[in-house]
Structure 1
């Protein structure tokens, strides 16, 4: 692997994924929520820059091609697990999260089974939009969990006015985040079904030829 800037950004994003839940181990809330949100946003931004720079500087590599989707999935999956836990296991959140997690596992398993033939299942523009929407929804939901903690009056150094203000923003961020995650789940299921349809011809091949 060459230590190009695009590859370094991809590696940093891969390391940032498991660091998100660590924020809740080393910081008190709501500072943990803000730290997780900041880390997630910075990592999400690198998702655009590493691909853009790799193409612009002609530094595309097999490492980047392999690690980029893994880093994206790790970021999304880990962040969704954290948010679900700190959102009180809200059923309106659990269902779209389940759809997203199922699709990611299903498509990853499908690609692993197909091996070299999975290269014919190119990433579509809709799948890229799906990832972008997932990340935007997660960022808004992280904002909602932090504001919710403040609104409940559990954050130190926050007056009554601040709590009321946070409660209003908490409700707004939570509702917007839930709408976005449901839309993202719909796109996620759609792209998963699209990959499955495209993979069907290879799944119907005799086992000894697969």
Structure 2
């Protein structure tokens, strides 16, 4: 049901993306801080919508469909904006590309396996990857607007590379599991 609280939270995450893009595009210290706050709220809904859906018994096909799409749209939009603003640049572009390619790969794999009625549950390591990735992007959003002493651009780049390594590991794991199911069918 579209109007259930968990689904509304997921839709809210999707609707936050244009506001995040505008705030980042403005690229002022105040708008960077506002973007960070909005991004943190969007990330919190990622955790909260699933928890509420399970606790309220409102897990729905629509929610299972929308939630990963909302996550991938949010990540892709933020990465593209950070690249456009040169907050992700140089060799760190490779980390961003790895992250985006894995998201596309896993989405396609899940879609294919769904047709076979094969579930592809999220692994514990993939949850860690998501947490590191969300943290990296949050640090990079604030980046130049944060206190210089914290070296946020450097910290964000390091976290982005850690997320990229975890992305490669979890992407490979999902791919191998998916291929095993494909061979069985």
Q: Structure 1: which 5+ runs fail to align?
A: 148-165
Equivalent residue number for residue 80 of structure 1: 79
Q: Deviations over 1:65-120 (max 9, x none)?
A: 11111111111111111112212552132111011011111121222333423633
Residues 89/136 of structure 1: CA separation in 2 closer, same or farther (3 Å cut): closer
Looking at structure 2, the residues matched to 102 and 2 of structure 1 have their Cα atoms a distance apart, in angstroms, of 29
Match of 2:164 in 1: 185
C-alpha distance in structure 1 between counterparts of 2:11 and 2:102, whole Å: 24
Contact 1:99 1:189 in 2 (8 A): yes
Alpha-carbon deviation of 1:32? 2.4
Count of residue pairs brought into register by the alignment = 185
Q: Give TM-score scaled by structure 1 length.
A: 0.80
Partner of 1:20: 20
Partner of 2:148: 167
> 8 Å contact 1:84–1:93 — kept in the other structure?
no
Unaligned runs of 5+ in 2: none
Where do 1:100-115 residues align within 5 Å?
100-115=99-114
Aligned equivalents of 2:171 and 2:27: distance in 1? 38
Q: 2: distance between equivalents of 1:83 and 1:2?
A: 31
Residue in structure 2 matched with residue 8 of structure 1 by the alignment: 8
Matched residue, 1:138: 137
When the two chains are superposed, the root-mean-square deviation of aligned CA atoms in Å is 2.0
In the alignment, is residue 176 of structure 1 matched against residue 175 of structure 2?
Answer: no
Contact 2:88 2:157 in 1 (8 A): no
- Distance, in Å, in 2 between the alignment partners of 1:34 and 1:174 is 14
The answer to whether the 8 Å contact 1:126/1:191 transfers is: yes
1:21 is displaced (CA, Å) by: 1.0
